A = this chain, B = another copy of it.
C-alpha cells in the first residue's frame, strides 16, 4: 500500500529485514507503556516555518495516535504575529520583553494564531487522516484567563483550564490543535504565552508527557558541545545546575517550564530540537535519547 503523504526520505533498500523488525520491536515497550496516555506537544519556532519539518511533525503526530497515544498540540506564533503587524503598519511597543497588546493587536494575534498557524497544522495532519481539530482557548471555556497587568493590555494569565471539550474530542480519537488565546467570564479575550498555557493544559489532562519542540537540542553542560547533552534531569539536579550557572541564559525559562510541569503532576517534560526530522518518534518510540527529559526524581518513569 503506497503512502502518498510522507514518503520516507532515507533509502531503506539497504536495510535488511532483521533490522527493520528489530526497530519495530524496539518500539514495543514504549507503545505498551504509553497506550491511552495523553502527550501534550508545544510546537514553537522553526518547526512551523519549514514545510519539510511541518510534514515530519504531522506524520509523527498521526503515528503516535495510530499506536494508541493521545496527542494534543499547543502552538504559539510570535514571529508570524509580528510579521502581520508589520504588514499592516501597526507599531508594537515592548515592555519588559512583552508585547503591549492593544485591542487591535489582540485581534490580529487571534486571527494569525487561530486562522493561519493552527489551520496549517490541522491541514498537515488531516492530509494523512482527518482527525485534527483546531481550537482556540476561547472555545467551550477551554482557557479561562485574566489580565496580567493593565499596562500590558490584553496579555493574560491562565486562571483555569476546562478540559471538557478536550475530553470530548480525545474520547473520539480526534487530535486537538490549540491556539493559546484565553477569555474571561465577560468574553474578553487575552493573548496567553503558549509555553505557560501548555503546562496548564498538560496538568489539567493529567498528561503523561509535555514536550517542547524548540530550536535547541536540549540541556547542554557545554553550550557548544552537542556531546554534553544531559539526557535525563531530575528536578533537584536541574535546580542545582541553575544555581551553579551551568543552565543559563535562554535555557533557563525552558527548563523552568519543564520543572513547573513535572511539579504540577505531568509525568515528564521533554526539551527537544524541533529541527530534527521525526524527533517525536525518536524520543518516544526508540531507545535513542535525542533531547533532555525532566522528571520529578532521578531515574523516574520515561
Interface residues of A (CB under 8 A from B): 1-3, 6, 8-10, 12, 15, 17-33, 35, 59, 62-63, 66-68, 87-88, 107, 110-116, 119, 122-124, 126-136, 138-141, 162, 164-165, 168-169, 172, 174, 181, 183, 185-187, 189, 276-278, 281-282, 285-288, 290, 301-302
A30 to chain B, nearest CB (A): 7
Choose among B168, B286, B288 the residue that contacts A172 (Cβ–Cβ < 8 A). Answer: B168
How many copies of the chain does the oligomer comprise?
6
Which B-chain residue is minimally distant from A134 (CB atoms)?
A: B139
B25 touching A281, Cβ below 8 Å: yes
Q: Which residues of B contact A278 (CB under 8 A)?
A: 17-18, 21-22, 24-25
Q: Which residues of B contact A113 (CB under 8 A)?
A: 115
* Also in contact, A183 and B31, with CB within 8 A (given A22-B8, A133-B140, A286-B20): no
Which B-chain residue is minimally distant from A288 (CB atoms)?
A: B17
Q: Which residues of B contact A21 (CB under 8 A)?
A: 8, 277-278, 281-282, 286
Q: Which residues of B contact A140 (CB under 8 A)?
A: 126, 130-133, 174
A23 touching B20, Cβ below 8 Å: yes
A63 touching B10, Cβ below 8 Å: no
A19 touching B10, Cβ below 8 Å: yes
Bound Cα distance from A9 to B22, whole angstroms: 7
A248 to chain B, nearest CB (A): 28
Bound Cα distance from A10 to B12, whole angstroms: 16
A264 to chain B, nearest CB (A): 23
A145 to chain B, nearest CB (A): 12
A119 touching B134, Cβ below 8 Å: no
